[in-house]
Amino acid sequence: MSNASDVTHEEIVALRAQRQADGDSLQGEERERQRTLHWMRCCKCGTQMDEIVFRGVRVDKCLRCGGIYLDDGELEQLVGKPGWIEALRSFFGS
Ligand SMILES: [Zn+2]
C-alpha cells in the first residue's frame, strides 16, 4: 500500500463509465440473479452484513472481517461532526 498512488479524478470518471456499461450489459434475469446473490453481503468475505445506525447514519458493517460499507453520501454525513474520527475508531474498531 505504501507505494500506491492516488487515483485521479479522470481515472474515476473513466472507471465509473466502464462500470455503468458493465451493469447495463447484464440482461434482466442475470442482473437480478447477481443482485440477489450479493445483496448485503460483505465484498471481502461474503458474510451477511449488519445494518448499524451510527450517529443517525445507517452503515452496513461486516462483523466477521470488520469491513464497512457506506452508501453514496454517507461518508459526507459522518465526517465533519465534532470528534467524528475518534467516534468512528471506537465504534468500528475491533
Ligand atoms: Zn467481511
Q: What is the pLDDT of residues 24-64, one digit of tens each?
A: 888 888 888 888 888 899 999 999 999 998 888 888 999 99
d(CA 16, CA 30): 21
Query: Do 86 and 61 fall into the same domain?
Result: yes
For residues 61 and 27, membership in a common domain is answered with no
Calculate how far, in angstroms, residue 36's C-alpha sits from the geometric centre of ligand 1.
17
With a pLDDT cut of 70, the percent of the chain lying above it is: 95
Between the alpha carbon of residue 93 and those of residues 7, 8, 25, 28, 80, the distances in Å are 26, 29, 38, 39, 19
* Domain encompassing residue 62: 41-94
- Asked if 47 and 29 sit in the same domain, the reply is no
| Number of domains forming the structure of the chain | 2
Q: Give residue 76's pLDDT band: very low, low, confident or very high (50, 70, 90).
A: confident
At 63, the amino acid letter reads: L
pLDDT at 90: 78
Q: Ligand 1 centre from 28 Cα, in Å?
A: 28
Residue 21 predicted with pLDDT over 80 = yes
Distance from residue 62's CA to the centre of ligand 1 (Å): 5
Q: How far is the CA of 41 from the centre of ligand 1 (A)?
A: 8
Q: How many Cβ atoms from other residues are within 10 Å of residue 21's Cβ?
A: 9
Per-residue pLDDT, averaged over 57-82, amounts to 87
Alpha-carbon distance of 74 to 57, in angstroms, equals 7
Separation of CA 59 and ligand 1 centre (Å): 14
| Same domain (yes/no): 54, 85 | yes
Q: Same structural domain for residues 32 and 45? A: no
